[in-house]
Structure 1
């Protein structure tokens, strides 16, 4: 079971990374298009390059229409796509200033409590994204520039958040089983396998 959950979490992280890479490329293309458009239409070069500038604009060269809308939706998805691998590998940032001196048993119980609370929070986020998606669908809300239905980005984020919640629940249950049986299921706190 652990291998399956880890595989799914890893695949989701790869998908999130691919989306993030595409968003970076989209942002670079849009910035370069905006820069070229500005250079070709400033007071000094507009007379000299007027025909070239018009041909480039007619060919679609310039800032990407609605790039910020795509980046906003894509980054939200990518954040939720990275949560499952971070949860299964124990990769979240921790501050153990006070907990480092706790006995082993107390540390395990505290970790179970943290994992249960985190799983509940992830489930709450997924539920609220689902509710938000239904509202966006009900009112047919769209983005300003692209007129893309907003619920599409809510759906992508909801699916990733729901998977993160499932992984969070798995991690909480695995920590509980580890504590009760002494059997190692998950990696250690530093992310390495036992």
Structure 2
């Protein structure tokens, strides 16, 4: 029951991050195309060849998406933290197993449990630091340059995803420790 809840939590967080990433890709594409068309419409060639049409398009505001860099920074940070839980659950992080691939399975389970606990501790530390960032930026009221949205919003979104990561990481660490003691596989293997 807990295992299924953790799987649902990790998958739903990854889906949210994935949808956001697709939206960011679309926004970035629209921004790049708009900026390129805006540059063309501001050229002397467009002014002479297209005349009033070029001016009309410029008057409509054709150009890059305002604040696209700010939205991209905030969104990508959240998306990255949204993918951590599913990577943690399915052991999708990068590993180098050149030396461990020939070790006995019992020793490999102990090593996996050890590194799972270390990674969990690191993820908890990152979450604590993100929470500190939320508090700091909430307290000082700093905003982004163009859109003027509070910086703490981006930190809070990333912190929320990192909390989910910590929940999944603690679960995985406990399961890996149980695997090392019992010798049975409890989590999905790579």
**Same fold per superposition (TM over 0.5):** yes
**Structure 1, unpaired ranges of 5+:** none
The structural deviation recorded for 1:50 is: 4.4
Whole-Å separation in 2 of the counterparts to 1:105 and 1:157: 36
The structural deviation recorded for 1:165 is: 1.2
TM-score in terms of structure 1 length:
0.93
User: 112-121 vs 47-56, which deviates more?
Assistant: 47-56
Structure 2 matches for 1:1-194, cutoff 5 A? Answer: 1-188=2-189, 190=190
- 2:109·2:183 contact (CA, 8 Å) conserved in 1? no
The structural deviation recorded for 1:133 is: 1.1
- 2:88·2:172 contact (CA, 8 Å) conserved in 1? yes
Secondary structure in structure 2 of the residue aligned to 1:94: coil
- 2:81·2:161 contact (CA, 8 Å) conserved in 1? yes
The structural deviation recorded for 1:6 is: 0.7
The structural deviation recorded for 1:51 is: 2.5
Alignment length (residue pairs): 189
Secondary structure in structure 2 of the residue aligned to 1:164: helix
Whole-Å separation in 1 of the counterparts to 2:136 and 2:109: 41
Aligned-residue CA RMSD in angstroms? 1.2
More helix by share: 2
The structural deviation recorded for 1:100 is: 1.4
The structural deviation recorded for 1:102 is: 1.8
- 2:41·2:55 contact (CA, 8 Å) conserved in 1? no
- 1:37·1:53 contact (CA, 8 Å) conserved in 2? no
For each residue in 1:127-150, what CA deviation from the matched residue of structure 2 results, as whole angstroms up to 9, or x when unmatched? 100101111111100000110100
TM-score in terms of structure 2 length:
0.95
Whole-Å separation in 2 of the counterparts to 1:110 and 1:178: 11
Whole-Å separation in 1 of the counterparts to 2:98 and 2:38: 53
Aligned CA distance change for structure 1 residues 183 and 107 (closer, same or farther; 3 Å)? closer
- 1:41·1:50 contact (CA, 8 Å) conserved in 2? no
**Structure 2, unpaired ranges of 5+:** none
